[in-house]
Chain A
Amino acid sequence: SRGAEGAAAPPVFTWLSDGTKDSESFTAAARDQFQEELVIRPLHSGDIYASFQFRTLWDTDFLQERQKVSHYRLFPKSLGQVLSKFSVRELHISFTQGFWRTMQWGQPFIPSPPGAELWVWFHDTVSDVDGNWKELTNVLSGIFCASLNFIDLTNTVQPSASFKPLGLGNATDHRFLRYATLPREIVCTENLTPWKKLLPCGSKAGLSVLLKSEKLFHSSFHSQAVHIRPVCQDEQCTSKAWELRQTLNVVFDLYTSGQGKKEWSLFKMFSRTLTEACPLATSSKVYVDITDNPEVKLKQQTVVLGDRRTYSVFDLTRAEMFGQLRSLNLLLRDMLRPLLHAERYVAGFGLQTGEIHTVIYNNHPYRAFPVLLMDSVPWYLQLYIHTLTVTSKSRDNKPSYIHYQPAKDRHRPHLLEMLIQLPPHSMTEVTVQFERALLKWTEYTPDPNHGFYVGSSVVSALVPSMVAMNTNFTQDQPLFSSFVPVKEESSYFVRVYTEPLLVNLPTPDFSMPYNVICLTCTVVAVGYGSFYNLLTRTFQVDEPSLPLAKRLANLIRRIRGVPLLA
Chain B
Amino acid sequence: MAAPLTLLLIVAVTIRAVLFRSSLAELISERVEVVSPLNAWKRVVEGLALLDLGVSPYSGDVFHETPLMIYLFHFTVDYAEIVFMVSPYFVDCLSCLLASLDRAKIFRKQKYALESDRYPADCLELLRSPKEMFYIPLKVAMFYLLNPFTILSCVAKSTCGLNNAIIALFIFCTLKGSALLSGILLALATYQSIYPLTLFAPALLFFLQRLYIPVNLRRSSFWCFTLQYAFIYVGSLVVITGLSFFLLGSWDFIPSVYGFIFSVPDLTPNIGLFWYFFAEMFEHFRLFFICVFQINVFFYTIPLSIKLKEHPVFLIFMQIAIISIFKSYPTVGDVALYMAFLPAWSHLYRFLRNIFLVSCVLLACSALFPVLWHLWIYAGSANSNFYYAITLLFNFGQILLVSDYFYAYLRREHHLTHGLYLKKKDGTEATLVLK
A residues with CB within 8 A of B = 349-353, 379, 382, 384-386, 402, 404-410, 414, 437-442, 506-509, 512-513, 516-517, 519-520, 523-524, 526-528, 530-531, 533-535, 537-543
Which residue of B275, B325, B326, B378 is within 8 Å of A349 (Cβ)?
Answer: B378
- Please, how many angstroms separate the alpha-carbon atoms of A541 and B407 in the complex? 15
- Please, how many angstroms separate the alpha-carbon atoms of A535 and B431 in the complex? 19
Are B280 and A534 in contact (CB-based, < 8 A)?
no
Are B267 and A537 in contact (CB-based, < 8 A)?
no
In the assembled complex, the CB of A406 is this many whole angstroms from the nearest CB of chain B, namely 2
Known: A437-B267, A538-B414, A543-B424. 10 other contacts (CB 8 A): A350-B378, A351-B378, A409-B266, A440-B278, A440-B281, A517-B277, A523-B273, A524-B273, A527-B326, A537-B434
B49, B280, B425, B435: most-surrounded residue (chain A CB, <10 A): B280
Chain A residues near B275: list those with CB within 8 A.
Answer: 438
Which of B17-25, B90-98, B156-164, B382-390 contacts the other chain? B382-390
Chain A residues near B30: list those with CB within 8 A.
Answer: 352-353
- Please, how many angstroms separate the alpha-carbon atoms of A512 and B280 in the complex? 7
- Please, how many angstroms separate the alpha-carbon atoms of A542 and B50 in the complex? 65
- Please, how many angstroms separate the alpha-carbon atoms of A406 and B279 in the complex? 23
Are B376 and A407 in contact (CB-based, < 8 A)?
no
Chain B residues near A508: list those with CB within 8 A.
Answer: 276, 279-280, 384
Give the number of A-B contacts (CB < 8 Å). 161
Are A531 and B403 in contact (CB-based, < 8 A)?
yes
Chain B residues near A351: list those with CB within 8 A.
Answer: 376-378, 380
Interface size class of B (residues with CB under 8 A): 35 or more
- Please, how many angstroms separate the alpha-carbon atoms of A450 and B105 in the complex? 64
Interface string of B47-65 (1 = CB under 8 A from A): 0111001010001111000
- Please, how many angstroms separate the alpha-carbon atoms of A507 and B384 in the complex? 7
Chain A CB within 8 A of B148 CB:
no
Are B50 and A538 in contact (CB-based, < 8 A)?
no
- Known A352-B30, A537-B434; judge A520-B385 contact (CB<8 A): no
What are 16 A-B residue pairs whose CB atoms fall within 8 Å in the complex? Answer: A385-B46, A386-B48, A406-B61, A407-B60, A408-B59, A408-B61, A438-B279, A440-B283, A506-B377, A508-B276, A509-B280, A513-B281, A516-B277, A520-B273, A541-B423, A543-B425
Are B279 and A440 in contact (CB-based, < 8 A)?
yes
| Nearest B residue to A402, CB-CB | B53
Are B432 and A541 in contact (CB-based, < 8 A)?
yes
Are A541 and B424 in contact (CB-based, < 8 A)?
yes
- Please, how many angstroms separate the alpha-carbon atoms of A82 and B425 in the complex? 93
| Nearest B residue to A414, CB-CB | B60
Chain A residues near B278: list those with CB within 8 A.
Answer: 440
- Please, how many angstroms separate the alpha-carbon atoms of A348 and B259 in the complex? 33
Chain A CB within 8 A of B357 CB:
no
| Nearest B residue to A388, CB-CB | B49
- Please, how many angstroms separate the alpha-carbon atoms of A61 and B271 in the complex? 62
Chain B residues near A379: list those with CB within 8 A.
Answer: 61
- Please, how many angstroms separate the alpha-carbon atoms of A276 and B110 in the complex? 111
Are A406 and B62 in contact (CB-based, < 8 A)?
yes
- Please, how many angstroms separate the alpha-carbon atoms of A112 and B53 in the complex? 31
Chain B residues near A523: list those with CB within 8 A.
Answer: 273, 392, 395-396, 399
- Known A385-B53, A437-B266, A520-B276; judge A531-B377 contact (CB<8 A): no
Chain B residues near A410: list those with CB within 8 A.
Answer: 265
Chain A residues near B83: list those with CB within 8 A.
Answer: none
- Known A437-B267, A508-B276; judge A409-B46 contact (CB<8 A): no
Chain B residues near A406: list those with CB within 8 A.
Answer: 50, 55, 59-62
- Please, how many angstroms separate the alpha-carbon atoms of A228 and B325 in the complex? 59
Chain A residues near B435: list those with CB within 8 A.
Answer: 537-538, 540
